Structure 1
Amino acid sequence: MASVAKIKTYHFLPYKYGSELLLDIGRIETLKNYVLDTTSHQLSFYEILFIEEGTGTITLDENKIVIAPGTVVFTSPGQVRRWEIKEKVTGYTLFFEKDFLYLFFSDELFLYRFQYFHQYSRPTEMQLSGISFDKCLELLDGIQQEFDQLQNDSSHLIRSLLYQLLVILNRYYAGVYNVQRDTYVHSDFYRFRSLLEKKFVEDRSVEGYSKMLNVSSGFLNKICRQFSGLSAQQMIHYKLISEIKKQLYQNKSAKEIAYEFGFSDPSNFNRFFKKLTGTTPQEYRKKI
């Protein structure tokens, strides 16, 4: 049986500043042991990187992202990544726990409203023009200034600046990739995205999710196509393939992965993977 490579996981430090604060900001160039880690690693929280200078690549799951000035990279919890730096990278890293926003907005689906998080069918990065990137930097500078002189009400101001930034980034992302930009589309679509993150191993059928949501399969497909451009089944398959690739990256055997993801036997797993990716799990592992 193949040996399983351990992937380092970085966790958020909520009491770094004394009282609990579920968001942090820093300069990429000063956090080398965390941000520029050349080994494969995961985050247990959300992060957005804003590259001001530098070149190289960052591999996020199986996607290799080219780093250049004006690049914005979005990392969702659990994604596997690795840096390869050619020229010194500078810029901002902004990272936070979901509860920093969930508790304030009383909306467990809040972060699913943004196109760039929990994304497995479109890019998790974008290249911004100078004007758009500078607008982001203005908000980041405001957050940094508040961290430099924390007060009892700082979390409220920081949260408001983060909210502005997330909405603006969603607009930019929608413009770059020509996708739905409205953050207040049908709530069942967001509920489906949230359920998919939690239930993709145990249920891979549109009917199963339709029952959980108490809607018809036809309606679920309709809102998925309307807001993502994909059918509900395509979204399920994209999510499943994304997670399988992470396991292959950790050098687990096809047999282990097949049973872990509920396939009846390795041959069915191999057929499913090849149908969706055009390559076998073994060929994919060799490629990475």
Structure 2
Amino acid sequence: MASIPQIKTYHFLPFKYGSELLLDIGRIETLKNYVLDGTLHQLSFYEIIFITEGSGTLALGENKVSIQPKTIIFTSPGQVRRWEIEQQVKGYTLFFEKDFLHLFFSDELFLYRFQYFHQYSHPAEMQIDEQSFRKCLQLVQEIELEFGQIRNDSNHMIRSILYQLLIVLNRYYAGTYNIQPDTYVHADFYRFRSLLEKRFLQDQTVESYTRALNISPGFLNKICRQFSGLSAQQMIHHKLVSEIKKQLHQNKSAKEICYELGFSDPSNFNRFFKKITHITPQQYRKSIK
């Protein structure tokens, strides 16, 4: 029986430039050992990739992203991925820890306000027109320029440019997929998204989240459908399936995963996975070997 590959994790290096700086930028073609890693891996931080040249695919979770010019790819912490390069890829990668922004804005929910991170129902990438892509690259290059001459106040300058870039990207993403672009739609929706990332392993019912948020199940479902297109329970299930797939990439049996995630028995586990993905855990595992 073929062995199932272990997942490598890349962690952020905050003191690369001397003093702590929780954001970095690089040209894709100069960071091959990290960015274009052809093995199964995940990041412990956020990343936005801007493709200017090249072709191939990026397997991101259960989805495959087509690599082509003017493509922008968003990776959230913990997503499992693998690059399959056909023609040399060039462009920029921008990666950062959540604290780089949310401590400055005193808002733990800050990164949950952007539609492209922690996304459940829409792709983790977008293709945009030449003019829009150039606008994004201009901001990216302003950040790159600041890194070329780090000063005492550089973190503030970089943060301000990044903030503008995130807003611009959110508008383009919302326009691409015809979803709500406003980053201040309803605080309870962002609170739910944040709680879901932290508690989905132990809390898998809508009621457990509505108690924590002190809102009614009906209201939570209303805002989830309005801003994500999914019900609250569907969002919980999608997050759970994402974790199951992640663990199936590792040397864990379906039975082991079943009990770790709180299912009563393997048959219920198999039924749940097949209902959401239309294949069994065993079939999924076979497809990734």
TM-score range (shorter-chain normalised) is over 0.9
Q: Secondary structure at the match of 1:50?
A: strand
Query: In 1, are the aligned partners of 2:121 and 2:228 still within 8 Å (CA)?
Result: no
Q: How far did 1:234 drift?
A: 0.8
Q: Are 1:131 and 2:107 matched, yes or no?
A: no
Which residue number corresponds to residue 44 of structure 2?
44
Query: In 1, are the aligned partners of 2:80 and 2:246 still within 8 Å (CA)?
Result: yes
Query: In 2, are the aligned partners of 1:80 and 1:246 still within 8 Å (CA)?
Result: yes
CA distance in 1, matches of 2:245, 2:6: 15
Q: Secondary structure at the match of 2:34?
A: helix
Q: How far did 1:75 drift?
A: 0.5
Q: Which runs of 4+ in 1 moved over 3 A?
A: 1-5
CA distance in 2, matches of 1:21, 1:241: 34
Which residue number corresponds to residue 243 of structure 2?
243
CA distance in 1, matches of 2:121, 2:270: 21
Q: Are 1:144 and 2:144 matched, yes or no?
A: yes
Q: Secondary structure at the match of 1:287?
A: helix
Q: Secondary structure at the match of 2:58?
A: strand
Query: In 2, are the aligned partners of 1:207 and 1:217 still within 8 Å (CA)?
Result: yes
Give the RMSD, CA atoms, in angstroms: 1.3
What does the per-residue CA deviation read over 1:142-194, in whole Å, with 9 as the maximum and x for residues that have no partner? 00110001111111110000000000000000001111100001100000000
CA distance in 2, matches of 1:118, 1:287: 24
Which residue number corresponds to residue 174 of structure 2?
174
Which residue number corresponds to residue 203 of structure 2?
203
Query: In 2, are the aligned partners of 1:255 and 1:266 still within 8 Å (CA)?
Result: yes
What does the per-residue CA deviation read over 1:198-248, in whole Å, with 9 as the maximum and x for residues that have no partner? 111111111111001000111111111111111111111111111111111
Point out where structure 1 has 5 or more consecutive residues left out of the alignment.
Answer: none
Q: Are 1:194 and 2:204 matched, yes or no?
A: no
Give percent identity, aligned residues only.
Answer: 76
Query: In 1, are the aligned partners of 2:121 and 2:229 still within 8 Å (CA)?
Result: no
CA distance in 1, matches of 2:197, 2:133: 30
CA distance in 2, matches of 1:29, 1:143: 18
Tell me the TM-score normalized by structure 2.
Answer: 0.97
CA distance in 1, matches of 2:276, 2:227: 22
Aligned pairs, number: 288
CA distance in 2, matches of 1:87, 1:5: 25
Which residue number corresponds to residue 264 of structure 2?
264
Q: Are 1:76 and 2:76 matched, yes or no?
A: yes
Which residue number corresponds to residue 23 of structure 1?
23
Alignment of 1:114-129 (within 5 A): 114-129=114-129
Tell me the TM-score normalized by structure 1.
Answer: 0.98
CA distance in 1, matches of 2:254, 2:104: 43
What does the per-residue CA deviation read over 1:84-120, in whole Å, with 9 as the maximum and x for residues that have no partner? 1111100000000000001100000000000110113
CA distance in 2, matches of 1:101, 1:258: 36
Amino acid across the alignment from 1:241: V
Point out where structure 2 has 5 or more consecutive residues left out of the alignment.
Answer: none
Q: How far did 1:61 drift?
A: 0.9
Which residue number corresponds to residue 111 of structure 1?
111
